[in-house]
């Protein structure tokens, strides 16, 4: 008798099982690749946001303004929390207003609006549309409330120097420091860390 052509039930079941295994493997690889791509894009976005914020800060510091009567145009203070300093200064390059403005930077805690169980620290910013004889205190002001500038920043540490050889952690002299050293860190998909020096008061263009 001639053998009837076609697949047996066992052969068909084995083929389907192999196809299912291959499909599962390919699906797993594609899912992992998709996750890696999404994570890579998020890291790139976070890094670009971090670098842009640093460049904006440097731009303001390079346009530091001191009043003609040589009153304080920059005040850097240490807070009660280590590596979370505060800084207020006058600059000719504000984010919100033209002319000379008073700006401030500090780190404060926040609670996530979407998930109240999540919290963290962020770099906050404020800007007054006009200067006055003295820099304002860090208290809340209705005229220029503190607003979140960069989320998940937990280190904002500053040092000041007149020579670049010796450094101090606070500054309230009536003359600008020669160099300001800034240490910033941000928590995200990866921890971003940046230490850079700024020579304030040059009045330079952005680039």
Note the Cα 82 to chain centre separation in Å: 18
Look at residue 207 in the predicted model and tell me its pLDDT.
Answer: 44
Residue 193 pLDDT level (bands cut at 50, 70, 90): very high
**pLDDT of 158 higher than 70:** yes
Select from 166, 169, 150, 158 the least CA-distant residue to 197: 158
Residues 101-146 have pLDDT tens digits of: 999 999 999 877 776 667 889 999 999 987 777 788 888 888 899 9
31 or 132: which leads in pLDDT: 31
pLDDT at 181 over 60: yes
Residues of the chain with pLDDT > 70, as a percent, come to 89
Nearest 5°: phi and psi at 61? -65, -35
Lowest mean pLDDT among 52-61, 93-102, 130-139, 188-197: 130-139
8 Å CB contact between 74 and 176 = yes
| Rounded Cα distance, 179 and 163, in Å | 8
Q: Is 98 exposed, middle or buried (0-12, 13-18, 19+ CB in 10 A)?
A: exposed
């Amino acid at each position: 008798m001639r053998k009837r052509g076609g697949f047996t039930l066992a052969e068909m079941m084995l083929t389907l099982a192999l196809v299912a295994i291959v499909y599962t493997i390919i699906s797993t690889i594609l899912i992992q690749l998709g996750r890696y791509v999404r994570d890579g894009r998020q890291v790139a976005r976070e890094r670009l946001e971090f670098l842009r914020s640093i460049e904006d800060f440097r731009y303001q510091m390079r346009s530091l303004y001191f009043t003609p009567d040589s009153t304080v145009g920059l005040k850097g203070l240490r807070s009660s929390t280590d590596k979370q300093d505060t800084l207020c200064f006058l600059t000719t390059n504000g984010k919100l207003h033209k002319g000379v403005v008073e700006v401030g930077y500090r780190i404060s805690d926040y609670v996530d609006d979407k998930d109240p169980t999540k919290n963290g620290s962020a770099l906050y910013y404020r800007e007054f549309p006009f200067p006055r004889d003295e820099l304002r205190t860090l208290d809340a002001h209705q005229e220029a409330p503190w607003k979140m500038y960069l989320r998940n920043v937990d280190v904002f540490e500053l040092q000041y120097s007149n020579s670049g050889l010796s450094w101090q952690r606070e500054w309230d002299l009536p003359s600008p420091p020669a160099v300001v050293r800034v240490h910033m860190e941000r928590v995200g998909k990866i921890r971003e860390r940046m230490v850079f020096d700024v020579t304030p008061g040059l009045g330079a263009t952005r680039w």
